[in-house]
């Protein structure tokens, strides 16, 4: 169930708390040269009016990681009746935007369970640094999803949950999933588009270069500056 009737304003405190959570998320060092970020989206009918704008913002993640390290992103989405799709791994903004531009929203129930199952399979093939999920609804058992989120936390794969809208049940579940995985949660809408762009950029930089790379983002925006001020050496 969704609720977009109420405006959602991501205030400076919420942004600061989210960025602080990103800064504190543990990063396990390894020999891999690229950061793999799974980007999952709800493409059901309720998101149709904001899909194009959201895709534009999400495609800008790569720009923030230039000069930091390579970033590979796989787009996943669900829609319609039991449809679930995952793209090839993209290493450029253009490739990701091309994938997103071909998607059309269709009515259906949420399939967050399939997103998390897919993420765990991908992680077994090659380690994921983080998972971003953007959605506005929840029509599945929250307890099961929280259990899966906890499993991802054990694997050191944080979930960064972005909620469009203001449904309190969705907020509670998304927040718990983020917490159990070691990730972070933030609400958004088009009125907070600039904050969403900066938050997505922060997660992308985290995936590409870890906490130390985030210190290079002071020139981006006030939210990014708040993050770097909270980093510890």
Q: Is residue 120 part of a domain?
A: yes
Q: Is residue 9 part of a domain?
A: no
Q: Is residue 1 part of a domain?
A: no
pLDDT above 90 (res 34): no
- What's 111's domain CATH number? 3.40.50.410
Supply the DSSP string of 135-194, one letter for each residue.
ES---S-HHHHHHHHHHHHHTT--EEEEEES--HHHHHHHHHHHHHHT-EEEEE-GGGHH
pLDDT above 80 (res 9): no
Supply the range of the domain harboring residue 115. 34-230
pTM (2 decimals)? 0.80
Cα end-to-end distance, the chain, whole Å: 43
pLDDT in tens, 219-230: 555 555 544 443
Q: Is residue 168 part of a domain?
A: yes
Q: Is residue 135 part of a domain?
A: yes
pLDDT in tens, 150-191: 999 999 998 989 898 889 999 999 999 988 998 888 888 766
Q: Is residue 11 part of a domain?
A: no
- Give dist(CA 46, CA 216) in Å, integer: 37
Q: How confident is the model at residue 142 (pLDDT cuts 50, 70, 90)?
A: very high
Q: Is residue 3 part of a domain?
A: no
Q: How many domains are there within the chain?
A: 1
pLDDT in tens, 35-92: 899 999 999 998 888 787 777 777 667 666 665 567 889 999 999 999 999 999 988 7
Q: Is residue 90 part of a domain?
A: yes
């Amino acid at each position: 169930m969704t609720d977009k009737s109420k405006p959602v304003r991501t205030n400076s405190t919420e942004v600061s708390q989210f960025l602080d959570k990103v800064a504190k998320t543990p990063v396990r060092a390894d020999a891999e040269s690229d950061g793999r970020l799974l980007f999952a989206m709800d493409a059901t009918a309720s998101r149709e009016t904001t899909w194009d704008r959201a895709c534009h913002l999400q495609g800008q993640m790569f720009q923030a990681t230039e000069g930091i390290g390579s970033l590979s992103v796989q787009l996943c989405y669900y829609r319609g009746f039991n449809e679930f799709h995952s793209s090839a791994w993209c290493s450029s903004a253009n490739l990701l935007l091309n994938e997103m531009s071909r998607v059309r929203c269709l009515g259906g129930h949420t399939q967050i369970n399939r997103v998390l199952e897919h993420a765990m399979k991908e992680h077994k093939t090659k380690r994921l640094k983080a998972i971003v999920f953007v959605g506005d609804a929840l029509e599945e058992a929250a307890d099961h999803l929280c259990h899966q989120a906890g499993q991802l936390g054990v694997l050191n794969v944080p979930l960064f949950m972005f909620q469009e809208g203001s449904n309190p049940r969705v907020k509670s579940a998304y927040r718990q999933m983020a917490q159990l995985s070691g990730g972070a949660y933030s609400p958004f809408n088009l009125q907070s588009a600039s904050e969403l762009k900066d938050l997505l950029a922060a997660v992308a930089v985290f995936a590409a270069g870890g906490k130390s790379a985030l210190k290079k983002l002071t020139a981006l925006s006030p939210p990014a500056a708040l993050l770097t001020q909270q980093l510890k050496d």
